[in-house]
Each structure stands twice: as structure tokens, then as C-alpha cells.
Amino acid sequence: MRNTNRCLILRLLPVLPTLTFWVPVNADSFLSNTLIRKNQVQSVLEHQPIDALECENTKPTGPIDITMCDYETVESVNRDLFSNIHDLVKMPFFKYFQVDLYRDCPFWDEYGSCNNPGCAITTVDESEVPMKWRASALSKVDALVEDRHELPGCYYRDSDFCWLDDNTEGDYYDLTLIPERFTGYSGPEAHRIWRTIYEENCFGLSEFSLMDGKAPGAVTLPDTMTDVLREDGADSDQCLEKRVYYKVISGLHASISTHICAEYLNQTTGEWGLNLHCFVNRIASHPERLQYIYFNTVLLLRAVARLGPYLSAYDYCSTGSRQDDAETKEKLLNVISIAQTAGKFDESVLFRGENANVLKEEFKVHFRNVTRIMDCVGCDKCRLWGKIQTTGIATALKVLFELDEKTLDPQRNANLLQRAEVVALINTLHRFSESLEAVNEFRQIWADLNSTESEQLILDAEKAAIPIPHSPYHDVQQPSGLFAVARSRVMSVIQACKMSAMECVTKLYSLLNRMSSVLQPSRKDSGPGAYEEL
């Protein structure tokens, strides 16, 4: 087996290593198809967006990795996308979200809590929620007729990439009153959340079976995807599915960090605003993180484009106001139209070949675990938006990799998706679109700086990128940490076996894969640095 495909050495240790990538020749823009490390801050903040009419440019200036779209197209449509979707998520159907934020953490016994007032959120009384979308009504609606795998208060179906609430518990929240912003939730607990999420990037033996097995049938790929199958700027031996998984997780992390920096609390003045220093340290000094935001945006747009007929036929009537309902449908149709232009992602090239189904099941198991990890977040606001966005991405993954055109037919499957899945998908796309808008605002602030100020920001970012020698997050000599993490994993297996035989097998298989990966190194299997906050 190829050692380069194995999970990170000593995977179970509480370590969050930083990414290291090689520098390509003549890489002068974050639009480069390869990850860069030279003049990285300038490449992000001094980039001037280029208008493009459509994704099918003959020679796109900046192709987005593993997609059939380019950066310029996303940039040229994002202003219109953001304008429409920003209004759409304020409509009654999309602003109310029901979720149980207080389910027990399944991975370790205790988790810290955030005492900062910024972590707190306010629930909405059920009487304020339109009758049609209350729990009593939603509990009567069944989605796909599939075997459900249940735990108290939540479940997943065979096609799902996430755990879903069963609408029997949980509170309602008005998302327009709970902006995703800086909360002060950081430190060891936030590190542990992201570290555990990135550990789910270990796919075990199915990846090797897929890569070493019989080659799938021929498929015609656009040049950009053909290139990425040959070389992804890092480990070319790594399977495409695993690289997609990594980009999805890293893009989510980068988008959340962008929102934190865009709505940052100045603890001296008490004012909220853009924090360029935060953005330079967390995103601009690592251009691949911005690339992953673009990647996720295209993936979400592709899911919305595929769901176009289904979403167009969905019943959004919630207030009885014809004006509200007409505006909801108008904004949604605009978003779908934009998605059909820029959502160019060929999902058919993934999970192919005789062993592909095994890898897909592992992919789903790992992402379901990510959605359960959200129950361990100690900040209420962070946990809410973490649950929404992991559910939104999981919905997109299901639409792309599990549902065919016949299944997506609204006449055949009117209740194909839960309302929570539709709301989460649109709100998650809004989060990524808003992140790209925020990047342009940071670029304007950067342009107004003098040379001394900009040089100081870059110097500070370079210092921040140097690991602290004795940091507990970089010291691998921690047997007590290894024991604690291993114990939590074993306990989670025991808990799963008490609840469900299927979940027991899944957890046990995942644990064995992790244990087998401990002794095998990997060149690229870590999270994007130590920008920690949710």
C-alpha cells in the first residue's frame, strides 16, 4: 500500500498541524490552479475580479479545482447571487429553523461552554412560527420511504450524509436575529472540535481498494478535471473522493473564519466591524483557503441547479400573504437561474468503479460523524450555525451523489427533502456567497492602507504562522492525550452499540480504520492550520 495515502501519523493524538504546500513557479495570483506560498497576502487582497459571461470559457484564467467552473465566473455572478439570496433568507420560510441544540456530545463525556455573551442566542416561541412549519405539522410528513436508523431525537436514512432531527424536540430560531460572527469561543475546546472534524478525513482500506482495483470505464472530462485527476497540487496518489471531502471541510472552515473576521467585536470600543488583521492571519496568508470557499460555492450551486425543478415546485406558502409568497418564489427562481450558470460540477466522475460504493458509504459515515460533532460545540451560536451548514452541505452531497433525475422529479417525490434540509441548503449557500462579498470589502480596506501598514500586517501574519515550540497542539509527546482521545472513541462505540446495530458496526469499523492508520504517515491529511474559532 502507498504510504502517502495513509492517514496522518499518530492520528489519534491531539495535534492540529499546519498545512505545508510547495510553491509553484510564477504563482502571482490566488487564481493559480496550484496552492501558493509566495506573496500570498497580496495575491488575495490585490486580486481584481474579472467579469466572465459563462463557465464554458475556452481557456479560463482561473479554473476552480475539481470543478468545471472558474473563479471569474463565480465573481461575476456573486453580486447578483448575494443580492437575491440575502433577501431570500429573510423570508418566513427560510428564516425559521428548528433544531435541538442540547443533545449530548457522542464523542467525549464533557465539553466546555462559552461564557461570553456573544455565544448566547434567543429562541422563538412556537406561536410566532407559521402553523404549517411547526413541529406538530412537520412530524406528520414523511420524506423518502427508506429504512431509518434512529437515535433519540434524530435519525438518518440510507441516502443521507447527515443526522437529521426528527422534529419531536428542539427549539425554533429566527436566523435573521442570530448573525454568524465573532463570539469569543476559542482555545482548547474549539481546537478539539476542528481536530476531530479533520480526523474524519481518514478513509481506511476502501480508498486503497478503489485506487488499486479495476479501473472504471472511460469518461469524458473537461480539461480542468482531467488535470486534477493527474495532479492536485499535492499528493497525486490520493483518491479524488478524498480530496473532494478535504476541500469541502476546509472550505466550510475558511468560510466560518471569514464571517468571524467580517463581523469582529472590537473589545475596546464595543463596535462590530471588519477586522483586516484577523482576515490576513486566517485566510489571506493561506490562499488555498479562499480557493476552498470558491469550491464549496460551486458545489452548492450545482446542487441547487439539480434541485431546480423540485425547488420551483415546492410549497413555500407560510404566512398567507401572497406578496411574501410571490417574492419568495421570485428570489428563489433568480438564485436557481444563477446556479444553472455557475454551478458547473460533474458529480458523475466521483464514486466510480467496482469498489466505489464502499468508499461512498465511508464518505457518508464520516460526514454524518461531522454533523454529530456539532453536538460537542460549547457555544450555542456556533453550534447552531455549525448544524445548519453541515446539514446544508450534507443535503448538497446527497443531491449530487445519491439522487437521480427520476428521484428528483417533484411529481414523483413531493416530500423528497425535509423542510430543514431545504432551509439549511439555501442558508449555507448564503453563508458562502456572503463570505465572497466580505473578501471584496477586505480588499477595499487593504487598498486604502499605506505601504507601512500593509507591510506590518504581512509581518504579523508571518509571525503568527510560526508554530509555538511548546504548544500542546504541536507537541506529539502526550500519552495522556492519546489515552483520553482513544477512550472517548471506545466509549462512543459502546454508546452506539446500545442504540443501533447498524450504527455499532459503522462506529466499530471507523475505529478500527483509525487504529490501523496510526502507524502510517500521510503528506496531506491535516486541517488548515490553527485558526480555531467556529
Which residues are catalytic, by number? 379, 382
The CA R_g of the chain, rounded to the nearest whole Å, is: 22
Return the SS3 of 141: coil
Q: Confirm if 514 and 199 have CB atoms less than 8 A apart.
A: yes
Q: What does the angle CA 530 – CA 67 – CA 297 come to, to the nearest 5 degrees?
A: 55
CB 241 within 8 A of CB 367: no
Order of all β-strands in the sheet with 148-151:
148-151, 154-157, 164-165
Q: 205-212 and 356-373 are packed helices; what angle lies between their axes, rounded to 10 degrees?
A: 150
DSSP classification of residue 282: I
Handedness of CA 273, 28, 228, 306 (dihedral sign): positive
Within 8 A by CB and 6+ apart from 248, the residues are: 295, 296, 299, 393, 397
Query: Burial of 526 by CB count in 10 Å (0-12 exposed, 13-18 middle, 19+ buried)?
Result: buried
Close Cβ partners of 40 (under 8 Å, ≥ 6 residues apart)? 30, 284, 285, 286, 287
Q: How far is CA 403 from CA 296, 347, 400, in A?
A: 19, 11, 7
Give counts: helices (H), strands (E), the chain: 18, 7
The rounded distance, in Å, linking the Cα atoms of 379 and 118 is 9
DSSP summary character for residue 204: T
Q: How far apart are CA 159 and CA 108, in angstroms?
A: 27
Instruction: Measure the CA–CA gap between 206 and 95, rounded to whole angstroms.
Output: 40
Q: Give the H/E segment covering residue 248.
A: helix 240-262
Distances (CA, A) of 214 to 204, 211, 354: 18, 8, 7
CA atoms within 13 A on the CB side of 297: 33
Residue 469's Cβ-side half-sphere holds a number of Cα atoms within 13 Å equal to 0
* 164 DSSP β-pair partners: 155
